[in-house]
Chains A and B, each alone.
Chain A
Amino acid sequence: MNISLKQVDAYRWRIPKTGAMRVPGLLFSSSKLIRSVRNDPCLAQVANVATLPGIVHHSLAMPDIHWGYGFPIGGVAAFDLDEGIVSPGGVGYDINCGCRVMTTRLTADVIKPFINDLVQGLFRDIPCGVGSSGHIHLSKKEAEDVSVQGAAWAVKKGLGTIDDIEKTEDGGAIPGADPSTLSGRAMKRGKDQLGTLGSGNHFLEIQVVDRIYDSEKAAIFNLFEGQVTMFIHSGSRGFGHQICDDFLKEMTRHASTDGRYDALPDRQLIYSPLKSALAKRYLAAMACAANYAWANRQILMHWTRKSVMDTLSITPEEMGMRLLYDVCHNIAKHETHPMDGHETTLCVHRKGATRALPPWHPLLPRVYQRSGQPVLIPGDMGSYSYVLSGTEGAMEQSFGSCCHGAGRVLSRNQAVKKARGRDIRRELADHGVVVQSRGKRTLKEEMPEAYKSVSEVIESVHGAGLAKKVARLRPLGVVKG
């Protein structure tokens, strides 16, 4: 499929409305990054999303866009509540995959002599790897409570503070979660995976703030140069995968009766009208997974704090770990946005895209009213991660959305081939990054060259006005699944 791409300005590209598209496509990207996607199937995926009923404004794509299944990774689409739809493929299997950054009182020069010990300690204390089970085994009732209460469940168990809840998107729980919508399979997979990092691109990093771009906002975010931060990237684990899978199959069965299934440009785009009972059940189940993921990252944060304190033999006060923020990047949510001059509630799908709210937004905690929302963007394990702040530009252009990471350029297989005969761990160590991973292939698949330059992605969102740079974080130690 040949997709026409028209440059609007330095950071915006339009896919004109053709064929069955109901709205045009709009990509945010620099000229440099657009080259890697010009002939990529991800552009056809942006056009496919534009054919879905009730889509409004544009089918949007962030600069870290890459080929996904159904929706592109880095895709954002909003749907009218009366005419529109919800698509489990537009959220993804890892419901509420997201990021959490913690600040500390520690500085890099103090911890550097202990970096190997710290990484080994975290690798020992944080369950990770394929299908990993955690230290927590939930009863059915407890799993249901986690699904409804989210991060607050963990805090009630002593694994965090009220301050953590305030600094988590949606307070760490979406309303409307209903465990009665979940299959026995989903419950079974959820019982043993709370408090586990996972595998693939999920990680836990010890980082140092190596550059501040906006000192006023950095002060509000409690960030200073040379400071040690911790970055967690994880999601809802097998619980979320199973929920997505269950509903894709149920929607497929449902849609085949009215011909919708055969009419889809890609069967992974299967959907249900938002007004239908099935869509409502999916959103109630998806909320369970989203809440589970927030509880998961809350628990991972608590164990990270404990592990670092044990290794360095320091007190909580000396460590001074505080949550900066927790954002989700795979979700569908009812949100209010201005449409034709009116505040309108829409169902916004973010598949590999981060919410980015501007200053004074009512959903922000008081502490971030003046700065806007902290937007957390991980890079690959050899380069930087970024902390940005939300802007009005995102509200005007992208339903308050921003990029979510670097975005892959090499397939996993290409990466493994490229890494053949090389010691990726040694190469990273030579660059001052200590890495420990569970899987043998993971390090090769996740090698820095497999990703786009995160700095270029950040320049694109900064240039397009979707978010503003606040600080850059450099990895010192990495734990991978």
Chain B
Amino acid sequence: MACDTPVYSLLDHTADLKIRVWGRDLLDLFENAATSMMRFLLEAGPADETEVISISLTAEDLNDLMVRWLSEILYLLMGEHQVVVQSKLNAINRSHLDAVLHVIPYDPDKHQMETEIKAVTYHQIDVSPRGSHWQAEIVFDL
């Protein structure tokens, strides 16, 4: 992902988790959003060998694209037991993205999951430009 320290902050939500993520551009924003979500889920640590998965997603707009992107990464963990340790977007526009994901197998002994994210919701989803950078607000169902 683009930077080691994800650029995000926590916003208040009574029952669930709401975050605000920043990025220099859309590529950076989507990569940062993925890193931020993974940080909440578990501590992966450095990985020597990773498997690479290519994905392409199509959506109705940028908001929908963000929900589908994070849902895909969440499913890899919860459904396929694959931990995404790095993501790299190759291309993105308002309704489509191409990316490669570096994954390692989930190991319950090494990766203690602290927070269960049930889903990435559409509630108050907002992906928009803010001056010279991009910002996204995302609510996760816990």
Which residues in A have some Cβ–Cβ distance to B below 8 Å? 40, 42, 66-70, 73, 89, 92-94, 129-131, 185, 188-189, 198-200, 238, 241-242, 244-245, 248-249, 252-253, 256, 261, 266-268, 270, 408-414, 439-441, 481
Chain A residues with Cβ below 8 Å from B79 are: 185, 188-189, 238, 242
Q: Assuming the A-B contacts A131-B113, A185-B79, are A413 and B122 also in contact, with contact meaning beta carbons closer than 8 angstroms in the complex? A: no
Decide if A200 touches B142 in the complex (CB within 8 Å).
Answer: yes
The contact string, 1 if C-beta is below 8 Å from chain A, for chain B 94-129, is 000000000000000000111110110111110000
> Is the pair B122, A40 in contact by a Cβ cutoff of 8 Å?
no
A66–B15 Cα gap in the complex (Å)?
A: 8
Does B116 contact A268, Cβ atoms closer than 8 Å?
no
Which residues of chain B from 62 to 86 have a CB within 8 Å of any chain A CB?
63-64, 67-68, 71, 75, 77-80
Max chain B Cβ within 10 angstroms of own Cβ: one of A42, A131, A249, A253: A131
**Pair A412/B114 contact, Cβ less than 8 Å:** no
Q: Which 10 A-B pairs have the closest CB atoms?
A: A69-B123, A267-B122, A130-B113, A268-B123, A130-B116, A256-B60, A69-B121, A67-B14, A268-B122, A93-B118
- Residues facing A in B22-70 (CB within 8 A) are 60-61, 63-64, 67-68
B17 at the interface (CB under 8 A from A): yes
Q: How far is the CB of B84 from chain A (nearest CB, A)?
A: 15
Query: In whole angstroms, what is the CA distance A40 to B15 when docked?
Result: 12
Measured between alpha carbons, how far is A475 from B71 in the docked complex, in Å? 37
- 5 A-B pairs besides A129-B113, A189-B79, A256-B64 with CB distance below 8 A are A245-B71, A261-B60, A412-B17, A413-B10, A439-B113
Tell me which residues across on chain B come within 8 A of A200, comparing CB atoms. Answer: 116, 142
The answer to whether A199 and B116 touch (CB under 8 A), given A242-B79, A266-B124, A409-B14, is yes
A94 touches B10 (CB 8 A): no
Residues of B within 8 Å of A189, CB to CB, are 78-79
Distance to closest chain B CB from A175 (angstroms): 26
A256 CB contacts on chain B under 8 angstroms: 60-61, 64
A94 to B64, CA, bound (A): 21
| Chain B residues within 8 Å of A244, by CB | 119
Which of chain A's residues has its CB closest to B42's CB? A130
Q: Which residues of A contact B139 (CB under 8 A)?
A: 69
Interchain Cβ contacts under 8 Å between A and B, 24 examples: A40-B14, A69-B16, A69-B123, A93-B118, A93-B119, A131-B77, A131-B78, A185-B75, A200-B116, A200-B142, A241-B118, A242-B75, A242-B78, A245-B71, A256-B64, A267-B63, A267-B125, A268-B121, A410-B14, A413-B10, A413-B12, A439-B113, A439-B115, A441-B115
Residues of B contacting A199 in the complex (Cβ-Cβ under 8 angstroms) = 116
B64 CB, nearest partner CB in chain A, Å: 6
Contacts of A411 in B (CB 8 A): 12-15
Judging by beta carbons under 8 Å apart, are A253 and B113 in contact?
no
Residue pair B15, A67 in contact (C-beta under 8 Å): yes
Name the A residues within 8 Å of B115 (CB-CB). 130, 439, 441
Known contacts A249-B68, A267-B125; is-contact A131 B14 (Cβ 8 Å): no
Q: Nearest Cβ in chain B — how far from A73, in angstroms?
A: 6
Contact check, A131 vs B13: say whether CB atoms are below 8 A apart.
no
Complex alpha-carbon distance, A242 and B79, angstroms: 9
Distance to closest chain A CB from B115 (angstroms): 7
Q: Give the docked Cα–Cα distance between A23 and B139 (Å).
A: 28
Say yes or no: B116 contacts A253, CB within 8 Å.
no
Q: Give every chain B residue within 8 A of A440 (Cβ-Cβ).
A: 112, 114
Taking CB as reference atom, which chain B residue is nearest A256?
A: B60
Residue numbers in B under 8 Å from A238 (CB-CB):
78-79
Q: Report how far A92 CA is from B16 CA in the complex, Å.
A: 13
A131-B113, A188-B79, A199-B116 in contact; A252/B122 too (CB < 8 A)?
A: yes
Complex alpha-carbon distance, A196 and B79, angstroms: 15
